[in-house]
Amino acid sequence: MNIVVCVKYVPDATADRRFESDNTVDRDGVDGLLSELDEYAVEQALQIREKREGEEIKVTALCVGPDKAVAAVRKALQMGADEGVHINDDAIAGSDAIATSLVLAKAVEKIGVPDLVMCGMASTDAGMSVVPAMLAERLGLPQVTLAAVVETQGDQVRIKRDGDTATEVIGAQMPLVLSVTDQTGEARYPSFKGIMAAKKKPLETLTLGDLGVDASEVGLSVSWSEVADTAARPPRTAGEIVKDEDGSGATALTEFLASKKFI
Amino acid sequence: MSEVLVLVDHVDGAIRKPTLELLAIAKRLGSPSAVFIGGSDQASGAAEKLKAFGAEKIYAVDDAEIKGYLVVPKVEVLQQLAEKASPAAILVVSSGEGKEIAGRLAIRLKSGLITDAVDVADDGTTTQSVFAGNYTVQAKVTQGTPIIAVKPNAAAPVEEAGAGAVEEFAATISDDAKKAQIVASQPRQSTGRPELTEAAIVVSGGRGTGGDFESVENLADALGAAVGASRAAVDSGWKPHTFQVGQTGKVVSPQLYVANGISGAIQHRAGMQTSKTIVAVNKDEEAPIFELVDFGVVGDLHAVLPAATEQINARK
Ligand SMILES: Cc1cc2nc3c(=O)[nH]c(=O)nc-3n(C[C@H](O)[C@H](O)[C@H](O)COP(=O)(O)OP(=O)(O)OC[C@H]3O[C@@H](n4cnc5c(N)ncnc54)[C@H](O)[C@@H]3O)c2cc1C
Ligand SMILES: Nc1ncnc2c1ncn2[C@@H]1O[C@H](COP(=O)(O)O)[C@@H](O)[C@H]1O
């Protein structure tokens, strides 16, 4: 069985994230890492491999991103993925979800027919939560998304998820695209052994040419939507903070809410 | 005037509020056409409501053949309607499902897509809030039929009747569209409170409640608010995941957000930072949530909330 896990390299959420002058996300000035939410996808892929002991299962970590982004693939290898593929090409810079999903789809096809393509629920930077659906569309596969619990048996996948209006169990047959949430359970830390082993694992770097994608199909200039303006939210003006003493807090709170007409 | 397709979000024919907001936005861009995919017995009731809130046209698509299949059948319906009507834009609710439909549709129609819009102007320029609410972005679709996923509360519903002409539409659904299926579904029990993402006021509790949400809920009821929770409270099993506010929960943007016993971690902020007015009750005056507040009380929530609730109820 072949599992491809899509891992994104993102600016650290705790750092000061910002935009470049061309309104793309500044990916060089800010330190990055494997998107926290994609760690859950790696974890679930590894758990599937572990639960189905005896079967031949290969987990490939796939990342589309600049030089530094190889760190995301490395982390996945350290956690336990078998192989890594990094798609790196200057022409990809500034790609939106539509172009990114094209590159991912071509890379998945290049890696070989997968049984499962796994994704995080959203990337922690742009966070559109649409790449899994777009990837499924491009690969002509069904998608089963936002899983809180994942189970596989043979070529059947069953997930549980908390929908907007109901808790659902969803079933589908492989091959498919699967995205998982942070409810699936904590991701493992790389062990010392894992870190050492990762150094010997195959890690391939490919360009658009290797995938048969033309540079004119990706990048900022072919984006199907355009960011006209970005602005930092004005800092919130310092609020009033009171200490509660013998019930004074409740009275002050009530008065504040009344003054704002919430009562 | 060009049609603007609005995918109707409903539960068994009951239209959810964000759809009415979409109709108001559709009117800015063209002539609102609601797309109702549901039971044929539900269509006329739904049509009445859609008409009352401005739908000029209602495409009724019988879902007998596709009910229980995920996302793709709806994509095919919208694709076929888009080819027929050449709409000026397609609007969906920016929920998990809505965004997935929009994503697939964008590829099929070779059209640009914008998700999580918090506003849409007459010329189709959208406003989004990114990086945990730290930036506002203005964007516009430049190719194809703009597909815009709009967040709840982006506009006020306008009760101004449209022509409401119902047209039955029979879509052709491929076998490939029926590959992911809902096997079992447990409808969420209504709490009797407003929906978290739709509510004008949200009162949340975190680890600081110690698992006792009663004072949080009583305050919420006094204010007519929805109840939310931090991930710490959800992970502890005190509230189901659907109550979670934050990066991996719901993103809310109410008029008033009251955080109780919540420290204000970045992942929590990502879900509430754009609230109009923010209030916090926390016993630690150093808690980062106080950096965000318009009004804060340093104190024990188990003392402050019941007393405040009593005073609020007394004033009503
Ligand atoms: C990938 C990822 C995704 C995440 N997604 C989310 C998310 O969507 N939403 C989310 O909320 N978190 C999320 N988190 C978790 C987040 O980092 C914090 O751990 C979490 O928000 C903490 O919840 P809390 O504020 O309730 O708990 P704590 O940080 O423990 O804070 C509890 C607060 O309660 C106060 N307190 C204690 N007792 C009282 C009392 N009697 N009266 C008043 N105050 C009291 C304390 O002073 C403290 O400030 C995510 C984390 C990760 C890694
Ligand atoms: N550049 C990328 N490289 C690898 N995977 C990606 C990339 N962008 C998005 N993904 C995957 O798609 C998921 C959703 O991303 P998004 O739609 O951007 O929120 C992520 O959690 C990743 O699994």
Helix (H, G, I), strand (E, B) or coil at A244: coil
- B39 φ/ψ angles, rounded to the nearest 5 degrees: -65, 145
Best of B129, B297, B310 to disrupt the A interface (most A CBs within 10 Å) is: B297
Residue nearest to atom 1 of ligand 2 (CA): A64
Residues of B in contact with A233 (CB under 8 A): 129, 133-136, 274
pLDDT grade for A27, boundaries at 50, 70 and 90: low
How far apart are the CA of A79 and the centre of ligand 2, in A? 18
pLDDT grade for A12, boundaries at 50, 70 and 90: confident
Write down the domain spans for chain A.
2-222
Closest CA to B33 of B2, B67, B4: B4
Taking an 8 Å cut-off on Cβ atoms, the answer to whether A145 and B278 are in contact is no
Lowest mean pLDDT of B50-59, B169-178, B184-193, name the range. B184-193
Q: Chain A contact for B240, CB < 8 A?
A: yes
* A17, A166, A253 member nearest B297 (Cβ): A253
Residue found by looking up tokens 């004074």 in the block = A248
C-beta of residue B195 within 8 angstroms of C-beta of residue B243: no
| B136 to A22, A29, B150: CA distances (angstroms) | 15, 20, 15
Assess whether the C-beta atom of A136 lies below 6 angstroms from ligand 2. Answer: no
Distance CA A17, CA A34 (A): 15
Token duo for residue A223: 């984006």
Query: Which option is the CATH number for A2-222: 3.90.1150.10, 3.40.50.620, 3.10.20.740, 3.40.50.720?
Result: 3.40.50.620
Q: How far is CA A36 from the centre of its chain?
A: 8
- B127 φ/ψ angles, rounded to the nearest 5 degrees: -115, 130
Q: Over 90: is that where the pLDDT of B149 sits?
A: yes
Taking an 8 Å cut-off on Cβ atoms, the answer to whether A17 and B134 are in contact is yes
What pTM did the predictor assign?
A: 0.94
pLDDT over 70, % of chain A: 93
pLDDT grade for B76, boundaries at 50, 70 and 90: very high
- Chain B nearest-CA distance from A144, in A, is 7
**Strands B89-93, B3-7: pairing kind:** parallel
pLDDT (0 to 100) of residue A16: 64
Three-point CA angle A159, A163, A168, nearest 5°: 40
- pLDDT, tens digit, 9 for 90 and up, residues A151-206: 999 999 999 998 878 899 999 999 999 999 999 999 999 999 999 999 999 999 99
Taking an 8 Å cut-off on Cβ atoms, the answer to whether B303 and A240 are in contact is no
For residue A41, the tally of other CB atoms under 10 A from its CB is 30
* A125, A165, A223 member nearest B187 (Cβ): A165
Q: How many residues does chain B have?
A: 316
> What type of residue sits at position B204?
S
* B129, B137, B248 member nearest A227 (Cβ): B137
Q: Chain B contact for A224, CB < 8 A?
A: yes
